[in-house]
């Protein structure tokens, strides 16, 4: 019954609730780029993934997967990378298809359950890096991807894979999508939609006969967007089918690697179904820690601590042999 109760993390007093705890780190945190060794991984289907390494010779390696419409260069990714490096890890941060400075080559992009790309990254890392222990860390959508990858048993897991951590995860994609459609989350939703609409317009220019942008400008929710674009472009019937088949929650029982899910109770992105209490209670491998505060991928430092809360917990959990 690996429930970690109570959590030791508490947000600073000057960030009083979930929205401020989410927005302040996202808007004001500035982190130097530390995964500066760049590489492009060519994929068998003709597409590519862009990678950033901090080193390739250490005995420990962490692979970092970012969230929706972010990239390997996003502050929370680089902040985690810097914290891990200070404690002896090499780091590989990768950017999902279509999220880099250069558009990906295919009409398909990334989505919440595209574990084949994560496996390509893992296999490449195992082949090219000397680490004897490899850890996985995923943020938000990248956390869903990481947990689904570990639980679906679609890909054999190397004995060199050591531990994993997932942060602020929409374990039930439908629940999270409906929560973000609320009026109180309009600012987040529109920020995502601006980027997603721009990406679809770019794809139409690249593939003029395959994309119909009619009505795109009026879309305001993930359900509208996923129904029209994400689902059909990636082989799903509609948004509901896409959400059902790609939510990590049904796969959590298959996880056989020590894994920490670290998600704040006041995360404004997540509905009740995103907190897998029963799955953690019945698992010998999935540890669930739900601090009362922290927001979505926030976890600003507590007084007297320089590292963000998620970084502190990552070091503590992953640094166990």
Instruction: Tell me the pLDDT tens digit for each residue of 132-160.
Output: 999 999 999 999 999 999 999 888 899 99
134, containing H or E segment: strand 133-139
Give the separation between CA 48 and CA 42, rounded to whole angstroms. 4
Confidence of residue 1 (pLDDT cuts 50, 70, 90): low
Q: What is the DSSP string of 151-212?
A: HS-SSPPPTTEEEEEEES--SSHHHHHHHHTSGGGHHHHHHHHHHHHHHHHHHHHHSTTT--
Confidence of residue 88 (pLDDT cuts 50, 70, 90): very high
Q: What is the DSSP string of 43-78?
A: -TTS-EEEEEES-S-SSEEEEEE--TT--TTSHHHH
For 111, list phi and psi in degrees, rounded to 5.
-155, 175
Q: Which residues, including other chains, have CB under 8 Å from residue 304's CB and lie 6 or more apart?
A: none
- Provide the CA 291 distance to its chain's centre, in angstroms: 19
Mean pLDDT check: name the lowest of 100-109, 247-256, 267-276, 312-321.
312-321
Q: Which residues, including other chains, have CB under 8 Å from residue 127's CB and lie 6 or more apart?
A: none
Provide the pLDDT for residue 37.
Answer: 96
Mean pLDDT of 191-201: 97
For 51-73, how does the pLDDT look when each residue is reduced to its tens digit (9 = 90+)?
Answer: 999 998 999 999 999 999 999 99
CATH homologous superfamily for 3-172+252-318?
Alpha/Beta hydrolase fold, catalytic domain (3.40.50.1820)
For 201-222, how does the pLDDT look when each residue is reduced to its tens digit (9 = 90+)?
Answer: 999 999 998 999 999 999 999 9
CB 301 within 8 A of CB 12: yes
> Across the chain, what does the average pLDDT equal?
96
In eight-state DSSP terms, residue 265 is T
Q: How is residue 53 written in tokens?
A: 């390494």
> Domain residue spans in the chain?
3-172+252-318, 178-246
> With 0-12 CB in 10 A as exposed, 13-18 as middle and 19+ as buried, what is 254?
middle
Q: Cα 185–193–214 angle (5° rounding)? A: 130
């Amino acid at each position: 019954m690996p429930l970690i109760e109570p959590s030791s993390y508490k947000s600073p007093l000057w960030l009083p609730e979930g929205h401020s705890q989410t927005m302040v780190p996202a808007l004001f945190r500035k982190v130097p780029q530390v995964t500066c060794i760049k590489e492009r991984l060519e994929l068998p289907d003709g597409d590519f993934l862009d990678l950033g390494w901090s080193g390739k010779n250490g005995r420990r390696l962490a692979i970092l997967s970012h969230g929706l419409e972010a990239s390997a260069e996003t502050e929370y990714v680089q902040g985690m990378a810097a914290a891990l490096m200070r404690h002896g890890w090499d780091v590989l941060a990768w950017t999902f298809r279509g999220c880099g400075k250069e558009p990906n080559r295919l009409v398909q992009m990334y989505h919440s359950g595209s574990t084949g790309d994560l496996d390509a990254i893992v296999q490449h890392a195992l082949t090219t890096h000397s680490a004897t222990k490899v850890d996985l860390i995923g943020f938000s959508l990248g956390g869903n991807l990481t947990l689904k990858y570990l639980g679906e048993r679609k890909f054999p897991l190397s004995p060199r894979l050591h531990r994993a951590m997932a942060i602020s995860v929409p374990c039930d994609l439908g629940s999270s999508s409906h929560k973000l459609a609320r009026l109180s989350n309009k600012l987040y939703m529109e920020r995502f939609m601006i980027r997603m609409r721009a990406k679809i317009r770019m794809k139409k220019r690249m593939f003029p006969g395959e994309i119909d942008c009619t009505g795109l400008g009026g879309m305001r929710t993930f359900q509208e967007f996923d129904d029209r674009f994400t689902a059909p472009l990636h082989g799903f019937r509609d948004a509901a089918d896409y959400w059902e088949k790609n939510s990590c929650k049904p796969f959590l029982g298959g996880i056989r690697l020590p894994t920490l899910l670290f998600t704040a109770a006041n995360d404004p992105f997540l509905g009740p179904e995103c907190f897998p209490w029963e799955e953690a209670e019945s698992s010998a491998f999935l540890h669930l820690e739900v601090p009362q505060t922290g927001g979505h991928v926030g976890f600003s430092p507590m007084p007297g601590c320089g590292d963000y809360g998620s970084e502190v917990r990552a070091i503590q959990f992953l640094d166990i042999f």
